């Protein structure tokens, strides 16, 4: 099985590379130069397309036409924590246009596309007395440019929650927590750099996965569910940002005071029942996912290797 990972240097992408490399005939694209990742010694030049950003789609098209992958995974995304996420052109080009171009290319090549979307297509606000537990059939109501651009970028026709709507495209909505290599923009990396006291939002809830768990799940979908298509919500047990920080503090042995903050009320939890019915997937408890994420953490700056990481 030949797999191409787009965005292989990102928070999810590098975990996909490490997970897929032993299991599949795996190739990867990097937005930066391959030399930027030399400290980790993970990426193989013959399997890597470097300097591949969304503005240079012709490079990706030529690479994919030559490679002829069976599956393409889109882990490219302009996350809301990056300054460029506030720039409409950059956000739309990366989060909205690129996935559709990729879906068109995959259709041309006759290969499958797995696209990673987000729970931020929902606002998490009160809906006539209801909070969270969003289903695939619920109407999205993104609250910011990031959510709107990600919604526009889901390469599916209307009524995509119906199986068979796009036979070569699988879109997974979820939320991810994980380590990064060359950036420090996500919740985990931000938390690891804090000292003293931070606030933890007691009423900001989500139901995502760690990137380690997500990579394993995607490998299973590639190997065992080749015909799964359409739109699905992938969810764990709901957790608040406060409880997540408390568990991270314990697992990583951090001396940080976490002050509960009840001022923010957002519930972007997803209902994963439809995905569970289709695949049998049940996410591990948060304690287990976090413990594994810590054990498999990438070496900071590429120096050394974490125990039991398998990232040699």
The answer to whether residue 222 sits within a structural domain is yes
The answer to whether residue 254 sits within a structural domain is no
The answer to whether residue 127 sits within a structural domain is yes
Q: Range of 214's domain?
A: 2-182+207-239+269-288
From residue 110, how far is each of 7, 71, 107, 202 by CA, in Å?
A: 21, 9, 5, 46
User: How far is the C-alpha of 16 from the C-alpha of 70, rounded, in Å?
Assistant: 16
Q: Tell me the torsion sign for CA atoms 189, 178, 206, 260.
A: negative
The answer to whether residue 258 sits within a structural domain is no
Q: How many structural domains does the chain have?
A: 1
Beta bridge partners of 18: none
The answer to whether residue 80 sits within a structural domain is yes
CATH number of 166's domain: 3.40.50.720
pTM for the structure as a whole:
0.92
Q: What is the pLDDT along the chain (312 residues), one digit of tens a residue?
A: 999 999 999 999 999 999 999 999 999 999 999 999 999 999 999 999 999 999 999 999 999 999 999 999 999 998 876 666 678 999 999 999 999 999 999 999 999 999 999 999 999 998 777 889 999 999 999 999 999 999 999 998 755 444 445 689 999 999 999 999 998 889 999 999 999 999 999 999 999 999 999 999 999 999 999 999 999 999 999 999 999 999 999 999 999 999 999 999 999 999 999 999 999 999 999 999 999 999 999 987 654 333 222 222
Residues 6+ apart with CB under 8 A from 229: 112, 163, 164, 165, 166, 167, 168, 169, 170
């Amino acid at each position: 099985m030949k797999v191409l990972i787009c965005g292989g240097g990102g928070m999810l992408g590098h975990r996909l590379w490490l997970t897929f490399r032993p299991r599949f005939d795996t190739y990867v694209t990097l937005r930066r130069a391959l030399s930027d990742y030399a400290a980790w010694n993970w990426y193989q030049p013959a399997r890597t397309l470097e300097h591949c950003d969304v503005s240079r789609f012709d490079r990706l098209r030529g690479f994919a036409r030559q490679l002829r992958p069976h599956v393409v995974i889109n882990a490219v995304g302009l996350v809301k924590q990056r300054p460029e996420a506030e720039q409409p052109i950059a956000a739309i080009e990366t989060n909205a246009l690129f996935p559709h171009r990729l879906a068109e290319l995959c259709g041309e090549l006759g290969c499958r596309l797995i696209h990673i979307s987000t729970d931020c297509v929902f606002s998490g606000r009160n809906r006539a007395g209801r909070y969270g537990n969003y289903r695939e059939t619920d109407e999205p109501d993104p609250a910011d440019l990031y959510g709107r651009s990600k919604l526009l970028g889901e390469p599916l026709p209307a009524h995509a929650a119906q199986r068979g709507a796009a036979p070569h495209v699988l879109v997974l909505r979820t939320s991810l927590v994980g380590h990064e290599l060359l950036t420090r923009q996500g919740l985990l990396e931000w938390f690891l750099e804090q000292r003293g006291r931070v606030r933890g939002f007691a009423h900001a809830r989500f139901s995502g996965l760690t990137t380690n768990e997500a990579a394993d799940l995607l490998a299973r979908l590639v190997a065992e569910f080749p015909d799964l298509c359409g739109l699905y919500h992938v969810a764990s047990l709901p957790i608040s940002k406060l409880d997540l920080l408390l568990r991270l503090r314990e697992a990583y042995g951090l001396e940080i005071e976490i002050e509960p903050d009840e001022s923010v009320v957002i519930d972007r939890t997803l209902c994963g029942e439809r995905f569970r019915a289709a695949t049998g997937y049940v996410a591990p408890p948060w304690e287990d996912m976090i413990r594994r994420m810590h054990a498999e953490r990438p070496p900071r700056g590429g120096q050394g290797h974490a125990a039991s990481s398998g990232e040699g």
